[in-house]
Amino acid sequence: MKTKIWLSSPHMGTAEFNNIKEAFDTNWIAPLGPHVDGFEHDLADFLGEGVHVAALSSGTAALHLALIMLGVKAGDEVICQSMTFSASANPIAYQGAVPVFVDSEDRTWNMSPDLLEAAIQDRIAKGRKPKAIIVVHLYGMPAEMDRIMAVADRYAIPVVEDAAEALGSSYRGRRLGTFGAMSILSFNGNKIITTSGGGALVSTNEEYIKQARFLATQARDAAPHYQHSQIGYNYRMSNVCAAIGRGQMQVLAERVRQRRANYAFYKEAFADIPAIQFPDEPSADFISNRWLSTVLIDDTAGVSREDIRLALEKENIESRPLWKPMHLQPVFAEAPYYGDGTSERLFEKGLCLPSGSNMTDEERRRVAACVKCCF
């Protein structure tokens, strides 16, 4: 059996292990500690725009806290991009609220600003004004934030930016994760940088971040005994995970460069196969970190997305269809949906290719050769 090529595997630099050792040597094996503070500063410095950051146990936890702080309660509605990973939508359900799914546009694969506005108008007409909008930057590609924010502002609905896949991407010169009232990041094992598991909440409003840290450590009031006036959560990041995160921040720029190089490699390798289409950045305003390299397979040539996925699997190469839209998921079958079929089409044709920043040239050539063999 040939060695496995993964879709996106962890890629450590050199500082991570020393940082962990330091955490052990000083016995800071706790959910809090100097590396947590340091990691939050590193992230805030990197993102710019004067943001504040709370390091948390996961991106999902960050999204949950964002919705809690925006006052999302049982029976409320929250608009969410349909084409995404389920973790974008699950926290809406944690609150007993109802997701309202909005389709993507072809240009970015992210939330269509036009369908967003149509959805908001229809929900308002039904007397159900949405409490928040969750917009996602899929695979690192920026959503059209100017237009999304303009629509959101027109109806005074706060935006939560799900930048879990988009650390290192930017839109009109500004880093993703700095546009929303709050934004979330993920450091899960397959993301562009990882803390083995972890996430962060980001906001220019420091009150949100202070409140997030409070809620994430069991909402303990200021008192010598344990006193609570609110329901709390155990959502903080551990000092050991943050130690890894600080090392990863030192190599983030390099990871973005490597992932973008993967995309450029595939684009060149498949230049002579018209059935393979690439989601290029729509203009110089959009810089994607290319977390995953994705392609669309036009099956009029007789080769389908699934043919290619199975051929890769035979060669011990992991690839994956694009995210299956949430409005097609059994668990969200009852949720309202506003769309024009774009995400369904993308899901049918789209494939994520191996995209790790630690892939060797030989591995990339193995992937390309296998894909080409299908045609």
Where do contacts with ligand PLP occur on this chain (CB under 6 A)?
58-60, 84-85, 87-88, 136, 162, 164-165, 186, 188, 199
To the nearest whole angstrom, how small is the minimum distance from the Cβ of residue 58 to ligand PLP? Answer: 3
Output the smallest distance, CB 163 to ligand PLP, in A. 8
Q: Smallest gap, in angstroms, from Cβ of residue 360 to ligand PLP?
A: 25
Which of these, 237, 196, 195, 197, lies nearest to 216 by C-alpha position? 237
Which CB, 203 or 270, lies closer to ligand PLP?
A: 203
Complex with ligand PLP: residue 20 or 56, whichever CB lies closer: 56
The nearer residue to ligand PLP, 148 or 371, going by C-beta atoms, is 148
In angstroms, give the least distance from the CB of 274 to ligand PLP. 30
Give the DSSP H or E segment for 348: helix 342-349
Q: How far is the CB of 87 from ligand PLP (least distance, A)?
A: 4
Burial 49-75 (b: 16+ CB within 10 A, else e): eebbbbbbbbbbbbbbbbbbbbebeee
Strand partners of residue 321: 351
* Strand ranges across the sheet with 320-321: 276-277, 293-297, 350-353, 320-321
Specify the residue, 135 or 275, whose C-beta has the smaller distance to ligand PLP.
135
Q: Which helix (H) or strand (E) holds 287?
A: strand 286-287
Sequence-ordered list of residues with C-beta below 8 angstroms from that of 126, at least 6 positions apart, any chain: none
Q: Nearer Cβ to ligand PLP, position 112 or 186?
A: 186
Closest CB 88 distance from ligand PLP, rounded Å = 5
Nearer to ligand PLP, 186 or 293 (CB): 186
Q: Which is nearer to ligand PLP, 200 or 276 (CB)?
A: 200
> Cβ of residue 325: shortest distance to ligand PLP, in angstroms?
13
Closest residue to ligand PLP, judged by C-beta, is 59
Q: How far apart are CA 63 and CA 67, in angstroms?
A: 6
SS3 54: strand
CB contact at 8 A, 197 and 207: no
Torsions phi, psi for 282 (to 5 deg): -60, -30
Euclidean distance between CA atoms 89 and 130, whole angstroms: 14
